[in-house]
């Protein structure tokens, strides 16, 4: 966020010029690094910049520092690298912020003063060329999609390709944003029902294609993912097999070069992969986004950020909504799981524009509502313990709960977010009035922060659940929030005949299915999404009717492998061939 700077006649100006890799251009003189574009006024500083770099973004003012008896106003600009005399002679050079700060004795005092105050503003550097309403990484159109990465070899084809799933989508998915009737697959002894929408969303496709393309385009460079690309172990393992490495776990714990996780206080300081990063490395930001702290660390190291930022544009849409609401004077209430990468990124982004607090569910929101409604100072003070680690620094319970607005983690149930909004409006209506409550509780009008891909998967599943069913298998990574929400819908309808699995390997036999228990109330000490219950394979009629669906990070190939595994539990003579079933679906699509 650009700081407000008061201009005086005696001010001087410096323009900090960064290349697309977030390295700062400095002037080398007498063994010191100096500010490259320092002048009495902005016009002169910009003219000097343009002489060296004709292509640059308009300088934007961010902060000011003391420069002796004067104030120096600090502007940022991003330049397009081009051959120039100063760089060729060595007088001008691009250096990472970390590289400069490692040699404080080689810094001119004015440059040292500028760097001492730069950290809060580094988050802006990679995106200087973007407008306020631009998205970092827009969804690719169908024509521009890179489908080749899904069939790089037999392993990729088995993971990502399914003729059955492709045929179902061609038949049922008449509109990307609208759920349609489910599709039945009649294998004889087993009949499967698949919703019109399941599996990869556009944000996941974007991120996966970006990751494989980056590996292919940079065979001689180290390519890292900030953390898990998506919440699916099979996709992540395939990328690791091709040379990708992770900097940190999905909970932010850094990895060591040997692949172990560095723990606080275990004596590994200075030895993490983070510490080994150089400007020659590539770090991909996953679809969940990244916190400002992580992005600032990358900028400091002179590592490209924008070029490899695969943040889903629907996640970024939530950030833009939070910014807008903050600018309108609201405190932002984030409906999300505080330990989830997306919610951490949204919280980090929102705090630049407003105070914020995270609520996990309606139960936590009710506790917040009791605090809001209570006139008792002791009751209101409970906020700081009950929501410890979930609110922004400087949060004042007596000031920052006057006007609130709700945004959400995109992978949660829409109805829960709407219930939270309705509940909070009831709280404010009792305190003030119905009209006042509408003004004091924002975020529910246009449903701007509800991910349409998550919602259409849930809508399509709800349509399928209205059909006669014996059981349901929901497939996705065991730490996948959106997959768990799909399982919840199935569990509400089918009870213990609903299963949350990662792959066909979890269906061990007719006597045992490994069912994952998602930590819905938050991380449990000593557990890491690894609680498994052994349930018997579901019983049913003849034919056995089973619903299958996959979360937004579930590859089609795994869904087909689950079909093959379940079919294997029935007599072969009682089953139709997959070719016959595929022909049924393709015929129906042609007749539509």
For every one of its 592 residues, what pLDDT tens digit does the chain have, with 9 covering 90 and above? Answer: 334 444 445 689 999 999 999 999 999 988 899 999 999 999 999 999 999 999 999 999 999 999 888 899 999 999 987 655 555 456 899 999 999 999 999 999 999 999 999 999 999 999 999 999 999 988 888 888 888 888 888 998 999 999 999 999 888 887 778 889 999 999 999 999 999 999 998 889 999 999 999 999 999 999 999 998 888 999 999 999 999 999 999 888 999 998 899 876 555 555 899 999 999 999 999 999 999 999 999 999 999 999 999 999 999 999 999 999 999 999 999 999 999 999 999 999 999 999 999 999 999 999 999 999 999 999 999 999 999 999 999 999 999 999 999 999 988 888 888 899 999 999 999 999 998 998 999 865 545 567 888 889 999 999 999 999 999 999 999 988 899 999 999 999 999 999 999 999 999 999 999 999 988 777 655 555 568 999 999 999 999 999 999 999 899 999 999 999 999 999 999 999 999 999 999 998 888 7
Any bridge partners for residue 192, and if so which?
Answer: 185, 546
- Domains delineated in the chain: 12-127 (3.90.79.10), 162-200+453-591 (3.40.1010.20), 202-308 (3.40.50.11270), 317-442 (3.40.1010.20)
Locus of tokens 């343009």 = 50
3-state secondary structure of 151: helix
pLDDT of 82 reads 62
Beta carbons of 390 and 338 less than 8 angstroms apart: yes
Q: Which of 33, 25, 29 is nearest to 76 (CA)?
A: 25
The total number of residues shown for the chain amounts to 592
Closest CA to 228 of 498, 472, 553, 562: 553
Q: Dihedral through CA 207, CA 523, CA 519, CA 345, nearest 10?
A: -30
Look at residues 14, 16, 71 and name the one whose alpha carbon lies nearest to residue 45: 14
CA distance 396 to 398: 5
Retrieve residue 114's tokens: 């500028």
How far, in whole angstroms, is CA 107 from its chain's centroid? Answer: 37
- In this structure, are residues 63 and 117 in contact, taking their beta carbons and an 8 Å threshold? yes
CA-based nearest residue to 55, from 106, 1, 128, 5: 128
Beta-strand pair 223-225/92-95: unpaired
| Phi–psi pair at 295, nearest 5 degrees | -65, -40
Q: What is the pLDDT of residue 67?
A: 82
Residue 520 makes CB contacts below 8 A (sequence gap 6+) with 484
Q: Which of 353, 297, 356 is nearest to 331 (CA)?
A: 356
Buried b (16+ CB within 10 A) or exposed e, 446-468: eeebbbbbbbbbbbbbebbbeee
For every residue of 275-288, DSSP letters joined together read HH--TT-EEEB-TT
According to the model, what pLDDT value does residue 85 have?
53
With CA atoms as reference, report the closest residue to 110 among 9, 46, 27, 5: 27
Q: What is the DSSP letter of 3?
A: P
Q: Which residue has the tokens 């509109």?
A: 175
In 119-128, which positions are buried (b, 16+ CB within 10 angstroms) versus exposed (e)? eebbbbbbeb
382 with 423: CB under 8 angstroms? no
The Cβ of residue 542 has, within 10 Å, a number of other Cβ atoms equal to 11
Of 348, 236, 234, the C-alpha closest to 284 is 236
Residue 419: the pLDDT is 92
Cis peptide bond prior to 543, omega within 30° of 0: yes
pTM for the full predicted model? 0.90
Give the separation between CA 443 and CA 326, rounded to whole angstroms: 11
Rounded to 10 degrees, what is the CA torsion of 59, 61, 63, 67? 60
Q: Which two tokens stand for residue 27?
A: 């002037």
Question: 3-class SS at 374?
Answer: coil
Q: How far is CA 274 from the centre of its chain?
A: 20
Q: What is the enclosing helix (H) or strand (E) of 320?
A: helix 313-327
Of residues 559, 486, 554, the one with CA closest to residue 204: 554
Residues with Cβ within 8 Å of residue 110, at least 6 apart in sequence: 14, 34, 35, 38, 67, 72
Q: Is the Cα dihedral 498, 571, 568, 165 positive or negative?
A: negative
């Amino acid at each position: 966020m650009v700081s407000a700077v008061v201009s005086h006649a005696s001010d001087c100006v410096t323009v900090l010029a960064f290349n697309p890799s977030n390295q700062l251009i400095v002037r080398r003189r007498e063994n010191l690094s100096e500010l490259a574009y320092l002048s009495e006024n902005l016009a002169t500083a910009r003219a000097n910049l343009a002489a060296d770099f004709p292509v640059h973004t308009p300088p934007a003012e961010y902060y000011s520092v003391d420069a002796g008896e004067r104030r120096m106003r600090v502007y940022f600009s991003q330049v397009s690298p081009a051959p120039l005399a100063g760089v060729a002679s060595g007088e001008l050079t691009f250096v990472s912020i970390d590289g400069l700060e490692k040699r404080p004795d080689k810094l001119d005092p004015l440059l040292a003063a500028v760097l001492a105050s730069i950290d809060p503003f580094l988050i802006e550097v990679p995106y200087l060329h973007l407008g306020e309403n631009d998205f970092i990484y827009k969804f690719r159109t169908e024509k521009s999609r890179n489908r080749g990465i899904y069939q790089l070899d037999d392993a990729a084809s088995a993971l990502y390709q399914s003729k059955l799933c492709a045929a179902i989508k061609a038949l049922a998915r008449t509109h990307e944003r609208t759920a349609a009737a489910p599709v039945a697959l009649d294998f004889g002894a087993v009949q499967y029902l698949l919703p019109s929408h399941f599996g990869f969303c556009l944000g996941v496709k974007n991120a996966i294609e970006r990751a494989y393309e980056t590996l292919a385009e940079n065979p001689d460079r180290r390519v890292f993912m900030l953390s898990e690309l998506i919440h699916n172990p099979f996709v992540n393992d395939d990328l690791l097999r091709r040379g990708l490495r992770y900097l940190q776990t999905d909970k932010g714990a850094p990895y060591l070069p040997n692949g172990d996780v560095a723990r606080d206080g275990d004596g590994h300081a200075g030895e993490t992969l983070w510490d080994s990063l150089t400007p020659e490395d590539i770090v991909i930001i996953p679809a969940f986004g990244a916190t400002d702290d992580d992005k600032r660390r990358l900028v400091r190291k002179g590592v490209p950020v924008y070029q490899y930022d695969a943040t889903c544009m629907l996640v970024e849409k939530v950030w833009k909504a939070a910014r807008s609401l903050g600018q309108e004077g609201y405190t932002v209430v984030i409906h999300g799981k505080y330990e989830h990468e997306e919610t951490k990124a949204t919280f980090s982004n929102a705090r630049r524009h407003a105070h914020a607090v995270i609520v996990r569910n309606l139960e936590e929101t009710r506790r917040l509502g009791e605090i809001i409604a209570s006139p008792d100072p002791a009751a209101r003070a409970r906020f700081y313990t009950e929501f410890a680690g979930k609110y922004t620094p400087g949060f004042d319970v007596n000031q920052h709960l006057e006007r609130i607005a709700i945004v959400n983690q995109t992978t949660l149930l829409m109805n829960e977010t709407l219930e939270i909004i309705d509940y909070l409006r009831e709280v404010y209506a009792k305190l003030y009035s119905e009209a006042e409550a509408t003004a004091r509780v924002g975020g529910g009008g246009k449903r701007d922060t509800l991910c349409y891909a998550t919602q259409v998967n849930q809508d399509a599943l709800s349509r399928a659940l209205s059909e006669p069913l014996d059981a349901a298998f929901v497939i996705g990574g065991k730490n996948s929030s959106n997959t768990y929400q799909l399982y919840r819908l199935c569990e509400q309808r089918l009870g213990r005949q609903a299963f949350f699995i990662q792959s066909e390997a979890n269906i061990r036999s007719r006597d045992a299915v490994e069912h994952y228990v998602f930590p819905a109330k938050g991380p449990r000490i000593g557990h890491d999404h690894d609680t498994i219950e052994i349930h018997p394979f579901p019983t049913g009629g003849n034919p056995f009717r089973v619903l299958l669906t996959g979360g937004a990070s579930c590859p089609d190939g795994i869904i087909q492998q689950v079909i093959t595994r379940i079919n294997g539990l029935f007599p072969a003579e009682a089953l139709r061939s997959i070719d016959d079933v595929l022909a049924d679906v393709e015929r129906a699509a042609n007749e539509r």
